[in-house]
Amino acid sequence: MIRTEQTGPILTITLDNPPVNALGAALRSGLAKAIARAADDISVGAIIVTGSGKLFSAGADISEFGKPLADPQLPDVLAAIEACPKPVIAAINGTALGGGLEVALACHYRVALASAKLGLPEVKLGILPGAGGTQRLPRLVGVEAALKMIVSGDPVSVAKALASGLVDKVVENAADLLTAAAGFADSPARPTGERAVSGDAAAADAFAAANPRLFKGFTAPTACVEAVKAAATLPLTEGMAVERRLFLELVAGDQSKALRHAFFAERAAAKVDDLPKDTVKRDIARVGIIGAGTMGGGIAMNFLSAGLPVTMVETNAEALERGAALIRSNYEATAAKGRLTTDQVEAAMALLTPTLEFGAVGECDLVIEAVYENMDVKKQVFGRLDAVAKPGAILASNTSYLDVDAIAACTSRPEDVLGMHFFSPANVMKLVEVVRGAKTAPDVLATVMALGQKVGKVPVVAGVCYGFIGNRMLIPRQDNALALVMEGASPEQVDKVHTDFGMPMGPFQMTDLAGVDIGWHRDETRIDNLKDALCAQGRWGQKTKAGFYDYDANRKRSTSPVVAALIEEFREREGITPRAISDEEIVARTLYTMVNEGALILEEGIAQRSSDIDVVWLYGYGWPRWTGGPMFWGEREGFAKIVAGLEHYTDRMPESFSIAPLLRSPQPEPVA
């Protein structure tokens, strides 16, 4: 856990707790003892604290939260470091996050390797830095820069940290780090807590007023501001007490539990339980994409950005050119925002080979089909792929609903076939549902899961069924939303329940964005439901400036009198007398039904684990992270309450509706 080594008067303490040097109880205790011993030992003149492996430390051990924390507490260990009469120098050998950075902040000097990143990501776990981060960081960098790091949770580069005063010296080569740190051995002990803060409470309020986006929905950011204000106005010990109180309140709160769940859920999703440990992955040196539309182009960008060459195939030259131009303009827009250099744009574009030659995918190790969502078209593409793809190439379909086994059956190698369902915009949304067919080989699945992670995606395994995990859960939500409108609700009311809940948009806003005409039979004379009526009138959603809502030239949404009249007309036609619909009913029929569908998905083995379903909704649809995802939220809400709500409205649901037995089984105690 802790290694110590003395060279002359310098004692080096190394945090050694793989994989990320998390500051669990044993490490805290070891560190406290080592500091105490060094303080007492007259042969020690200075102390260096560093980390083993690639990281300095990823901070507190998150898995310890929610249980009583064993002594010593991290703030006490850090107080001892700060109070040490001998100089303590942090030699930051790699990324330092959360409590890890707080260790460094409590040291008297900080020397960092240029490649390291420094951050306080606690806010992303629904808490605030609880070991002096909110008190010491403002003393080094000022109120505004500190709040930027603490409230965004985003790490800064060492170059930035040097400029702001967070680190004292930067070292380019790891081999020089300890020597550079030893350069401070003769400097005086310099407690951070005794420094004055630049900036005041007003600066903290100004930061909050200027960054409303960082605060929306979450409770921790406001507490971060309060703690930093305490740093600006109170002596260290009193500020530390404010920080402690806020930390303990937050860590026990529902949001932090949900956000911690999301953290571990994301990491669990990467694991496929039944894959043999010794599965050898296939090499993927070049990726082929069939289709240069918005989806194909977005998918291609993931690989190009990660440095993987892409061959993009289209059937007509104009579409191909348009697709390649769209990729370029997306990259250039990112560069205009300062998030890419021109060189990076050119490097990514140089990896793209647009072609009209289908056979060109023969040199690819993975080919992703992103053509029109139609089974006959997909089958045809896979038949052709089978003829040209090299042996061992992985063949993936970006279908969002269709039967991957039926697609695989069009090839002579169903073991090489799976689904890779990207979400739009595919270069932005992190989720990829990796659809495992009945015959998909273990190494094919393992390869695609690892590749997904490598290119910065969050891959989640799903089994074959209509709509897989995410879109299947949309079905009861959308069906009920439409039925609720027929029965008396307005699209606005239904959408508002969802946006108040924290969803980025409600069911009707989403339909308008995706296209009301998706799945439409395209026969204007056949009007079976409200959606058909909208489609027949050309109200296809945002793209035609009219859907369930009206849209102006800037896509600003407003209530549509035309739709209101259409709804009236439909109710009359169906003999429905509209009634007042409560928000509770909307919750039961559009959110509880999703939890129910999730439970069915779990029972059928379509998802490996409940938390995978949460990850799908968090990363694919913007489900509010502070609720942990639909299944975590459902557990917190209580399955008994959900079942009661669903039973109450069962007679208003389609005949096919059934309550998942899993929701009726005894529920384990909610995670503390």
Query: With respect to ligand 3HC, which residue has the nearer C-beta, 59 or 598?
Result: 59
Q: Name the residue type at position 158.
A: V
Dihedral angle over CA of 167, 171, 175, 179, nearest 10: -60
* φ, ψ for residue 56, nearest 5 deg: -75, -60
In this chain, which of 81, 125, 432, 469 binds ligand 3HC, going by CB under 6 A?
125
- DSSP bridge pairs for 6: 11
In this chain, which of 51, 99, 491, 598 binds ligand 3HC, going by CB under 6 A?
99
Kindly provide the residue ranges of all beta strands, DSSP E only, lying in 126-207, ordered along the sequence: 156-157, 169-171
**Interface with ligand 3HC, residue 129, by CB under 6 A:** yes
- DSSP bridge pairs for 156: 118
**Interface with ligand 3HC, residue 105, by CB under 6 A:** no
Q: Is 368 left (phi over 0), alpha (psi -120 to 50) or beta?
A: beta
CB 415 within 8 A of CB 389: no
**Cβ 19 to ligand 3HC, closest distance in Å?**
5
Each residue 493-532 as x (binds ligand 3HC by CB under 6 A) or -, in order, gives ----------------------------------------
Residues belonging to the chain: 672
CB 437 within 8 A of CB 464: yes
Determine the interface stretch with ligand 3HC among 107-115, 127-135, 208-216, 225-233 (rule: CB under 6 A).
127-135
**Interface with ligand 3HC, residue 131, by CB under 6 A:** yes
In this chain, which of 51, 94, 98, 239 binds ligand 3HC, going by CB under 6 A?
98
Query: With respect to ligand 3HC, which residue has the nearer C-beta, 98 or 624?
Result: 98
Half-sphere exposure of 218 (CA within 13 A, CB side): 29
**Cβ 122 to ligand 3HC, closest distance in Å?**
5
**Interface with ligand 3HC, residue 130, by CB under 6 A:** yes
Query: With respect to ligand 3HC, which residue has the nearer C-beta, 22 or 482?
Result: 22
Q: Closest-CB residue for ligand 3HC?
A: 98
Determine the interface stretch with ligand 3HC among 16-24, 38-46, 312-320, 457-465 (rule: CB under 6 A).
16-24
**Interface with ligand 3HC, residue 133, by CB under 6 A:** yes
Q: Would you state the structure tokens that stand for residue 493, as one six-digit string? A: 């009311």
Catalytic residue among 5, 64, 82, 102: 102
Q: Any catalytic annotation for residue 102?
A: yes
**Cβ 124 to ligand 3HC, closest distance in Å?**
6
Query: With respect to ligand 3HC, which residue has the nearer C-beta, 458 or 469?
Result: 458
Half-sphere exposure of 454 (CA within 13 A, CB side): 14
Task: Return the biggest CA–CA distance within the chain.
Answer: 93
**Interface with ligand 3HC, residue 223, by CB under 6 A:** no
**Interface with ligand 3HC, residue 146, by CB under 6 A:** no
Q: Would you state the structure tokens that stand for residue 236, as one six-digit string? A: 């260290």
Q: Any catalytic annotation for residue 669?
A: no
Query: With respect to ligand 3HC, which residue has the nearer C-beta, 247 or 548?
Result: 247
**Interface with ligand 3HC, residue 177, by CB under 6 A:** no
Q: Name the residue type at position 342.
A: T
Secondary structure class of 495 (helix, strand, coil): helix
Query: With respect to ligand 3HC, which residue has the nearer C-beta, 63 or 374?
Result: 63
Task: List the interface residues with ligand 3HC, window 40-59 (CB under 6 A).
Answer: 55, 58-59
**Interface with ligand 3HC, residue 449, by CB under 6 A:** no
Annotate 545-594 with three-state secondary structure: CECCEEECCCCCEEECHHHHHHHHHHHHHHCCCCCCCCHHHHHHHHHHHH
**Interface with ligand 3HC, residue 122, by CB under 6 A:** yes
In this chain, which of 51, 87, 94, 121 binds ligand 3HC, going by CB under 6 A?
121
Query: With respect to ligand 3HC, which residue has the nearer C-beta, 55 or 461?
Result: 55
Residue from 142, 157, 32, 20 nearest 83 by CA: 32
**Interface with ligand 3HC, residue 97, by CB under 6 A:** yes
Number of residues that bind ligand 3HC (CB under 6 A): 23
In this chain, which of 11, 13, 15, 22 binds ligand 3HC, going by CB under 6 A?
22
Contacts of 631 (CB under 8 A, 6+ apart): 595, 598, 599, 602, 610, 611, 613, 614
Secondary structure class of 394 (helix, strand, coil): strand
Tokens 């995606």 -> residue: 457
Residue from 277, 287, 547 nearest 396 by CA: 287
129: preceding bond cis by omega (within 30 degrees): no
Query: With respect to ligand 3HC, which residue has the nearer C-beta, 224 or 396?
Result: 224
Q: Name the residue type at position 281.
A: K
In this chain, which of 82, 102, 495, 612 binds ligand 3HC, going by CB under 6 A?
102
- Residue 490 CB: number of other CB atoms within 10 A? 18
Task: List the interface residues with ligand 3HC, window 56-75 (CB under 6 A).
Answer: 58-63, 74
Query: With respect to ligand 3HC, which residue has the nearer C-beta, 55 or 171?
Result: 55
Counting beta carbons within 10 angstroms of the beta carbon of residue 343, is it exposed (0 to 12), middle (13 to 18) or buried (19 or more)?
Answer: exposed
Tokens 């606690």 -> residue: 122
**Interface with ligand 3HC, residue 20, by CB under 6 A:** yes
Helix residue ranges, H only, 169-218: 177-182, 201-210
Catalytic residue among 122, 226, 433, 487: 122
**Cβ 270 to ligand 3HC, closest distance in Å?**
7
Return d(Cα 222, Cα 200) in angstroms, integer. Answer: 16
**Interface with ligand 3HC, residue 126, by CB under 6 A:** no
**Cβ 32 to ligand 3HC, closest distance in Å?**
15
Query: With respect to ligand 3HC, which residue has the nearer C-beta, 58 or 588?
Result: 58
Give the interface with ligand 3HC as residue ranges (CB under 6 A).
Answer: 19-20, 22, 55, 58-63, 74, 97-99, 102, 121-122, 125, 129-131, 133, 267
Q: Which residues are catalytic?
A: 102, 122
